[in-house]
A and B are shown apart, each in its own frame.
Chain A
Amino acid sequence: MRAPTSDLPLVLDGISLQAGATTILDRLNLTIAPGPPTLIVGPNGAGKSTLLRVMMGLASPTAGRVSWGGRTASPPLRRAIVFQRPVMLRRTVAANVAYALAQAGTPRRQRAERVAALLERVGLPDLAQRPARKLSGGEQQRLALARALARDPEILLLDEPTASLDPAATRGVEEIVLMAAQSGIKIVMASHDLGQVRRLAGEVMFMVRGCLRERAAAADFLDHPTTPEAAAFLRGDLVI
């Protein structure tokens, strides 16, 4: 089902987010438009997760304005998010996807067909009738991707989806993400795995302490960082 409106471009205009005396996001100005995958990198505590939550509309900034396709205060129409630890509904794998489709407004009689297609897309067709909570971490993350793709998103936000997965499961998730990117979905993904950045990124946003320090094409960022913090981060030094 095609929604008439669009969630892109996603514009952050002077976004700050404070929790008590702590500044989590510090005056961010950025625009996300269709294009190759954007990876948000930076040390733990840089504000990557919070930035994604603001982009999704799950967290409200204390200053500034977010807009999706020119609309502020927009329900999540064509955007979706996958968390580091997704919550599986206490039902079967297929029922989890059917639920996401129902919430996205997919007519009832199209759901079975779309559930099958989505499970095929994420490589879980054989587990359709298994209880979702019985899946392994990697399988749960694939199911979370299927639920997110069920919303037919223009933009897919991912918060370190492979942080607790083994290499084989990580590859599975990355393949799905790349496939989604190739089908025209804008990917915005937080990661602190530089290998993953190399494998997936079209461009990189580098964050430190809530500030956006660099935004560059992935190759440029990896080979010629312009800030000393980014250079230190790429060397593997601790960036505080």
Chain B
Amino acid sequence: MSDQYSAWQLILNGDAALFAIVRLSLAVSLSAVALAALIGMPLGALLALARFPGRSVLVVLLNALMGLPPVVVGLAVYLLLSRSGPLGAMGILFTPTAMVIAQTILIVPIIAALTRQTIEDLWAEYRDELTAMDVSQTGRMVTLLWDARFSLLTALLAGFGRAAAEVGAVMIVGGNIDGFTRTMTTAVALETSKGNLPLALGLGLVLVAIVLAINAAAWGTRVWSERQVG
């Protein structure tokens, strides 16, 4: 990517390097959202329905973890995956896989905490009916997760927004390697520090536009499907 080109020219010219960056950013963040949803949604539903000592502490902890600093997650994953770390043998540090792992850890608490709140509210509405139908604990979780599907889209979006916007974790575990682990956020950070402000700004605008487009699409889907189902 050359300095004398503005970001707009890159986009208009269909610059291959730029699209590779965008593609990697989306692939990493969407994979992280998918993984975090698989972990966080059942976890949140379980926490919403289960009653055990220490539950309130766990709820507070989970809510607090929503504010987990990306650099701290990055550092922790770095220590795990580095050559001398416990998982160093896997040799995945400075790969997109490591970035997905870091972002997943970052957004599991967000998705789990928002899911817990949603499911707990819905359970208040469904409690009598489901108890009268003798629905098992697992059945309740599945039923509530499915019936809350439109509200849970918001939890996914919050997770995606966090993953797409963060720079600290992917920078540390990915290493911002050109053509391999460079994402939109790390590219913006790099171009800014190089003083290439037009390119940095252009990349930033592309990032914002993509996040906006995904949110708009999700919102439209939600409104449309809610109108179908009531």
Residue from B133, B147, B230 in contact with A134 in the complex, judged by beta carbons closer than 8 Å: B230
* Min CB–CB distance A136 → chain B (angstroms): 12
Number of interface residues of B (CB under 8 A): 18
A133 at the interface (CB under 8 A from B): yes
CB distance from A179 to the nearest CB of B (A): 21
User: Which residues of B have CB within 8 Å of A133?
Assistant: 229-230
Q: Chain A, 169-200, contact with B by CB distance < 8 Å: what is the 0/1 string?
A: 00000000000000000000000000000000
Docked complex Cα distance between A91 and B191 (Å): 50
Residues of A contacting B128 in the complex (Cβ-Cβ under 8 angstroms): 53, 58, 81, 83, 87
Q: Check if B131 is an interface residue, CB within 8 A of chain A.
A: yes
Closest Cβ neighbor of A133 among chain B residues: B230
User: In the complex, which residues 96-129 of chain B have their Cβ closer than 8 Å to any Cβ of chain A?
Assistant: 125-126, 128-129
Q: Would you give the 0/1 interface string for B205-230, flagging 1 where the beta carbon is closer than 8 Å to chain A?
A: 00000000000000000000000111
Chain B residue contacts of A58, Cβ below 8 A: 128, 131-132
B146: which A residues are within 8 A, CB to CB? 90-91
Is A115 on the interface with B (CB-CB < 8 A)?
Answer: no
- The answer to whether B229 and A103 have CB atoms under 8 Å apart is no
CB pair B229 A131 closer than 8 Å = yes
B129 adjacent to A103 (CB under 8 Å): no
Contact with A along B84-106 (1 / 0, CB 8 A): 00000000000000000000000
23 pairs, CB–CB < 8 Å, chain A vs chain B: A56-B132, A58-B131, A58-B132, A75-B134, A76-B131, A76-B132, A76-B133, A76-B134, A80-B132, A86-B129, A87-B126, A87-B129, A89-B143, A90-B146, A90-B150, A90-B229, A91-B146, A91-B229, A99-B133, A100-B133, A104-B133, A133-B230, A147-B133
Residues of B whose CB lies within 8 Å of any CB of A are 125-126, 128-129, 131-135, 139, 143, 146-147, 149-150, 228-230
* 8 other A-B residue contacts (CB within 8 Å) besides A76-B132, A90-B147, A133-B229: A53-B128, A58-B131, A83-B128, A87-B125, A89-B147, A99-B143, A103-B135, A147-B133
